[in-house]
Amino acid sequence: MSEQRKPCKRGCIHTGVMLYGVLLQGAIPREYMISHQTDVRVNENRVNEQGCFLARKQMYDNSCGAASLLCAAKELGVDKIPQYKGSMSEMTRKSSLDLDNRCERDLYLITSGNYNPRIHKDNIADAGYSMPDKIVMATRLLGLNAYVVEESNIFSQVISFIYPDARDLLIGMGCNIVHQRDVLSSNQRVLEAVAVSFIGVPVGLHWVLCRPDGSYMDPAVGENYSCFSTMELGARRSNSNFIGYTKIGISIVITNEAL
């Protein structure tokens, strides 16, 4: 895996405050998205036949967390999704977990906090961002376990200062928070938050999928990459203004205890 980029020290506190509306939430600038409404079931068949890892391009601007979780759950052997009230799975009476728009939408309603009919938005594209506690909730609904890693650095310090409720929400739901990530096992996947930089300036954060072998899946592009640096190269090819990703030390480790 390539060496982690170091965030610019100049104005880092201001940058952290400015970006907190998207920090930890999974947002990525609209201009970086190649397509907002892509169904990749054909791609799923292709990668399964090759015995490779799965990849999914996110449907909506802010659904990278849901798309990453969908791929992680499928790779960990999950084949069912709950038919909760208001979900597309309930409306279509389907309970299979598939790499399609239905399942990403259903997970996105949960990770964005819009699963409650009282706050459900008519336009799912405006549902908002995927927060860590809601990602953990969706993970549990899929029968998987999760814990959060919060490494000590300037990004995590700004997050804790600006948004102290994030930790309380996780603790309140019994989710462990640790400061160092252990070596991953084959029955684990990681949703990792990375800062997105355009023209050298951090402009938002984004959830990507990381695996025990060091490979990544970037839902903004919908492709798998052998390591962090090749993922950056793939992102640069998709947008000439894109500079790179920076690891911020926030991640969610997902485990299938049955494997």
Q: What is the CATH number of the domain that holds 241?
A: 3.90.70
Domains of the chain: total: 1
In a domain, 7, yes or no: no
Which residue, 99, 89, 114, is CA-closest to 219? 99
Instruction: Please identify which residue in the block is written with the tokens 């506190």.
Output: 13
CA dihedral over 145, 55, 128, 122, signed as positive or negative: negative
Cβ–Cβ < 8 Å for 66, 74: no
Phi then psi for residue 170, to 5 deg, are -70, -45
Active-site residue, from 61, 106, 133, 218: 218
What are the distances in angstroms from CA 18 to CA 13, 106, 203, 250? Answer: 9, 30, 9, 18
Mean pLDDT of 236-255: 87
Which pair of tokens denotes residue 36?
């907002």
Cα–Cα distance measured from residue 194 to residue 245, given in angstroms and rounded to the nearest whole number: 6
In a domain? residue 3: no
Residue 22 located in a structural domain:
yes
Distinct helix (H) and strand (E) counts, the chain: 9, 7
Q: Is 206 designated active site? A: yes
Classify residue 191: in a domain, yes or no. yes
Out of 173-182, 183-192, 235-244, pick the least confident: 235-244
132 lies in some domain:
yes
Q: In this structure, is residue 1 part of a structural domain?
A: no
Span 89-136, pLDDT tens digits = 999 999 999 999 999 999 999 999 887 655 555 677 777 788 899 999
Q: Which of 133, 175, 206, 210 is catalytic?
A: 206
Distance between CA atoms of 232 and 238, rounded to whole angstroms? 10
Domain containing 57 equals 12-255
Say if 36 falls within a structural domain: yes
Q: What is the pLDDT of residue 172?
A: 96
Under the banding of pLDDT at 50, 70 and 90, the label for residue 257 is: very high
Q: Give SS3 for 233.
A: helix
Residues across the chain: 259
Question: How far is the first Cα of the chain from the last one, in angstroms, to the nearest whole number?
Answer: 26
pLDDT at 12: 34
Other C-beta atoms lying within 10 Å of the C-beta of residue 233 = 12
pTM of model > 0.85: no
Active site residue 64: yes
* pLDDT tops 90 at residue 195: no
CA distance 252 to 151: 12
| C-alpha distance from residue 211 to each of 36, 56, 135 (Å) | 25, 15, 17
Asked whether residue 24 is domain-assigned, the answer is yes
> Mean pLDDT across the chain, nearest whole number?
80
- Write down the catalytic residue from 64, 103, 175, 210: 64
